Amino acid sequence: MVNKIWFFFIVIGILVAAVKGEIGLVTSTLLNSAEKGVTVAFGLISILTFWLGIMKLIERSGLINIFIKLLKPFVKFLFPDVPSSHPAMSSILMNISANLLGMGSAATPLGLKAMEQLQQLNEDKETASDAMCTFLAINTSSLTIIPTTVIALRMATGSTDPTRIVGTTIVATFCSSFVAISLDRFFRKLYRRR
């Protein structure tokens, strides 16, 4: 569906340029945009490589274990049906830790692994469990403290203060996560009443 929408926009843009007699503008804009895209991509590669390296250092130094210990009581409260010793709990903790540190690309495989392990605990294989729904709600609420990808994008596009968004990101993360968890609990109670 999204591909059709983009195709529609591209065709309309080309038609409008042709009608206005500025079809040459399409070619120059296309080439300039491609050049900008490559420049931004190379800027992102270096910044993301740096942050992925920092994440590896945090993981290997044991700091991630401290972070996980701090999160464990909160995560146990959110996922009471998941045994503390089950591998799903470790994957959930690692995923949340990576997301909080802004490492979405590192968090994705951990999140997929956590869902797979939560499915093993699920009695009804055709329906998502409460833990799976909670985990999905938390992940879609954009749980992050250090938005490394957005900072990288802002740096690559020439922002004078790329880290300026950290404060608002923390507020937005708190609000979106609170709403996601609240709605998860509300709909769970509503569903159980039926």
Which DSSP string corresponds to 52-112? HHHHHHHHHHTHHHHHHHHHHHHHHHH-TTS-TTSHHHHHHHHHHHHHHTT-HHHHHHHHH
Q: What are the pLDDT digits (tens) for 88-122?
A: 988 898 888 888 877 777 788 888 999 999 999 99
Task: Give me the tens of pLDDT residue by residue for the chain, a chain 194 residues long.
Answer: 788 999 999 899 889 988 998 888 888 888 888 888 888 777 777 776 776 777 678 778 887 778 778 888 999 999 998 998 888 988 898 888 888 877 777 788 888 999 999 999 998 889 889 999 999 999 988 788 888 778 878 887 888 998 898 899 899 999 999 999 999 999 988 887 76
Q: What predicted TM-score, i.e. pTM, was given to this entire model?
A: 0.69
Query: Residue 19: CB partners within 8 Å, gap ≥ 6?
Result: none
Predicted pLDDT of residue 110: 85
Other Cβ atoms closer than 10 A to 156: 19
Neighbours of 36 (CB within 10 A): 12
